[in-house]
Structure 1
Amino acid sequence: MGFIKLVEEYRGGILENVHYGAVTVVDEKGKILYKAGNPEHVTYLRSAAKPFQALPVMKRRIDEVYGLTGKEAALFTASHRGEAFHIEALESMFHKMGLKEENLHCCATYPLNEDAKAERHRAHEPKRKIFHNCSGKHAGLIGLSKHMGWNEQTYYEPGHPVQQEIMEIMAYMAEVHVTSIPQGIDGCGLPIFALPLHKIAYSYLKLACPDLIGDTDIRNAAAVTAKLMNDYPDMIADTKFVCSALLRDDNLTAKGGAKGVYGIGLRKERIGISLKVSDGSEQVWPCIIASILERIGYRNQSTIDRLYALTPNEIINDGGTPVGERRAVFQWEL
């Protein structure tokens, strides 16, 4: 797989844990500028696919069709973590779009945010499909199907027109043939696809810099989608998660997915970044991403500081005592 050491974690001066993976940085022509590990490693995008899965929705301006607010429309790209303001926006969206929660294909669950989850438990509320972190994405696809006259009940099937269009757009963005893209089923029940890391990085660069997209409709949809993510960063994850922290920087388009995959596009620098942590850890994302930004000379120090504030490199135990440290140890191979 071509993984290398990305992060080492020490406790009391002893190496306790190692996170392996790969990082790729590309320019606007798709050329690999920097790599650490194998840029050809193929991985599922998981929730890092959400901005691309939203492009068919935004191509038809489904937000305008149903009179949605920006906060509501941003949820089409989100892995929301079920805070109260997420659920309020989702319920408003469902009302405006005339959708029924029971028609979501994702399962009923509790919020990912621990405080939000505790609030629902204290209120003795049952699990709900709308609490699922992917419910906004599903709502967008159902809303598009409704608008286009497609079957709303089967929107999650690989052969459905909305899923076929998602695959075509993803292939177009990555500049690969659609038949070359491996497919599986994501945690929420929708089709998901895999790409080499350098193609994920290139796709995120195009999302950040839509002038690189030749097709007018897709270019406009990408511009609107990326702007919504930056305008409403807390809707994309929550107030204490890496995706929202990065999206507070208007120069970045960013989204992570399950099992350690992440994509970032930088507008001014016109580069794309992707990474995969082989053990699927999300806890080390801030350490890795902050280190990448430092190594490429990124000038917005406040973005880097926000990442380190989320997950400090100093490891603190449950009682608040410093007990160790984590270090980004990868080196560029180009």
Structure 2
Amino acid sequence: MGVESMNEEILVNDYRNGILENIHPGHICGIDANEEVKYTVGNARHLTFLRSAFKPIQAIPVIAHKVQEHFKLTNRETALIAASHRGEDFHLEELKKLMDKIGVAEDELLCHPTYPLNPGAKDAMLKDNQPKRRLCHNCSGKHLGMIALAKVLGVSTEGYYEPEHPAQQEILKALSTVSGCNIAEISIGVDGCGVPVYALPLQSIANVYLRFARPELIADQTIREAVVAISSLMNENPEIISGTDAICTNLLMDKNIVAKGGAQGVYCFGLKDEKFGFALKVMDGTEEQWPLIVATILEQIDYKNKQTIQRLYQISHKDIYNDNDKLVGNKEAVFHLAGIKWGV
């Protein structure tokens, strides 16, 4: 798979006292029910690593092999396998239960010890002089799921993170199925937490999330049923998938949406009733622009649930305040889904 030309467009401008200070370029692709590109900004073929937007797909073989039944997991524990949790108290409580049920020691996880992503949870640990933990890593639930999958497959958990390990091969096959890409067309890298991560054209990633929203498009019954189960778990447990006031939490509260973001600016979501899949990539790698960009996409397609849009605007930080809590600027979305700049 070759590297496509970038051809990104500006998605968001930052202004300070009316003066342009920063731009945030990127790409957006929207796929319709016919799996054809309906909306595009920038390059729909831009090669993009899924990063943590990969987690619902990584959970497919875990669910397909009935790991949750084998280890008698609750829905909240199972949802952590697809989560980028923020290390809040309720996350750690469920993670400990998940770890104990699977029979895993914390030091068996490859992910590096860290503090929680949630600022309050991090501050609480620092105040109590608690050390960094692997369980606090936002990918720990995913790693526990991979180890659990290896156990159910009857293979060694050693090297569960290596590309050739049977658990990772199951994940790669699931990605091929839901993306419609042949395995030979999928590019590989190493994710921040150490497991394989794959790069696909943005159009193919949008197709993945279309299929999460419309699983009837998946021919393989086992994969289809797993996708249905994962989508339900995500909608039933939005705060488990992410955390307090996070974009994923706010989107997954809407039962019509399945959504997940990843590091370095990639965000994806599917709309069930509208039969759309969207994927976007902010090329400067920031996540702060996501709520504004997704809210703008939903407005431009005249999305029916205005409460969802409003929740996104509430966390979008469109107004820019300085350290003294003084309003000093604003952010503005400047893209149009037809690929035409505002005002043109």
What's the counterpart of residue 135 of structure 1? 140
Q: CA separation in 1, counterparts of 2:282 and 2:11?
A: 8
d(CA) in 2 for partners of 1:134, 1:185: 14
Secondary structure at 2:264's aligned position in 1? helix
Residue 337 (structure 2) aligns with: 332
- Which among 278, 281, 286 is matched to residue 276 of structure 1? 281
Are positions 1:39 and 2:44 aligned together? yes
Q: 1:110 aligned to 2:115? A: yes
Which secondary structure state, in structure 1, belongs to the residue aligned with residue 91 of structure 2? helix
**What is the Cα deviation at residue 234 of structure 1?**
0.3
2:328 matches 1:323 = yes
For residue 156 of structure 2, what is the aligned residue in structure 1? 151
- Shift of the alpha carbon at 1:59? 0.3
* 1:176 equivalent in structure 2: 181
2:293 paired with 1:288:
yes
Query: What TM-score, normalized to structure 1?
Result: 0.98
Kindly provide the CA deviation profile for residues 26-47 of structure 1, in whole angstroms up to 9, marking residues without a partner as x. Answer: 1122111110100000110000
Within 5 A, what are the aligned runs for 1:216-231?
216-231=221-236
Aligned partners of 2:153, 2:13: CA distance in 1, in Å? 50
User: What residue in structure 2 maps to residue 260 of structure 1?
Assistant: 265
> Match for residue 203 of structure 2?
198
Q: Secondary structure at the match of 2:313?
A: helix
What CA RMSD, in Å, does the superposition of the two structures yield over aligned residues? 0.9
Q: Secondary structure at 1:297's aligned position in 2? A: coil
- Partner SS for 2:115: coil
Deviation at 1:100, TM superposition (A): 1.1
TM-score, length-scaled by structure 2: 0.96
Q: Does residue 1:30 correspond to 2:46, yes or no?
A: no
Contact 1:30–1:198 (CA<8 Å) still a contact in 2?
Answer: no
Deviations 1:168-227 (A, max 9, x none): 110111111101111000000000000111111110010121111110100000000010
Query: Aligned-pair distance for 1:321?
Result: 1.9
CA contact (8 A) 1:207 1:222 kept: yes
Q: Give 1:86's match in structure 2, choosing from 88, 91, 94.
A: 91
82-91 or 62-71, larger mean C-alpha shift: 62-71
Match of 2:82 in 1: 77
User: How far did 1:314 drift?
Assistant: 1.7
Residues 211-247 of structure 1 show CA distances to partners (whole Å, capped at 9, x for unaligned) of: 1111010000000001000000000110121111111
Report if aligned partners of 2:300, 2:337 keep a CA contact under 8 Å in 1: no
The reply on whether 1:245 has 2:250 as its aligned counterpart is yes
> Equivalents in 1 of 2:235, 2:338: separation in Å?
32
Partner residue, 1:58: 63
* TM-aligned CA deviation for residue 333 of structure 1: 3.3
What is the CA distance between 1:65 and its match in structure 2? 1.2
Structure 1 residue 139: deviation in Å? Answer: 0.3
Of the three residues 194, 208, 211, the one matched with 2:213 is 208
> Could you tell me which residue of structure 2 aligns to residue 19 of structure 1?
24
* Structure 2: distance between partners of 1:327 and 1:77: 32
Where 1:235 maps in the other structure, the secondary structure is: helix
Matched-pair contact (CA < 8 Å) for 1:28–1:202? no
Give the counterpart of 2:104 among 99, 103, 111.
99
Structure-2 separation of matches of 1:278 and 1:157: 28
- Unaligned runs of 5+ residues in structure 1 are none
- Choose 94-103 or 311-320, whichever is displaced more: 311-320
Q: How many residues align?
A: 334
- Where 1:145 maps in the other structure, the secondary structure is helix
Alpha-carbon distance in structure 2 between the residues aligned to 1:285 and 1:328:
10
% identical equivalent positions = 47
Q: CA deviation at 1:149?
A: 0.9
Q: Which of residues 289, 300, 304 is equivalent to 1:299?
A: 304
Aligned to 1:121, the other structure's residue is in SS state: helix
CA distance in 1, matches of 2:295, 2:326: 24
CA–CA distance in 2 between the matches of 1:332 and 1:289? 11
Give the C-alpha shift of residue 248 in structure 1. Answer: 0.6
Structure 2: gaps (5+ residues): 1-5, 340-344
Shift of 1:312: 2.8
CA drift of 1:320 comes to 2.2
Specify which of 146, 161, 165 is matched with residue 160 of structure 1: 165
Q: Deviations over 1:44-96 (max 9, x none)?
A: 00000000000000001211211111111100000001001000000011111
Give deviations 1:79-116, integer Å, cap 9, x for gaps.
00100100000001111111111110111111111110
Which SS does the other structure have where 2:330 is aligned? strand
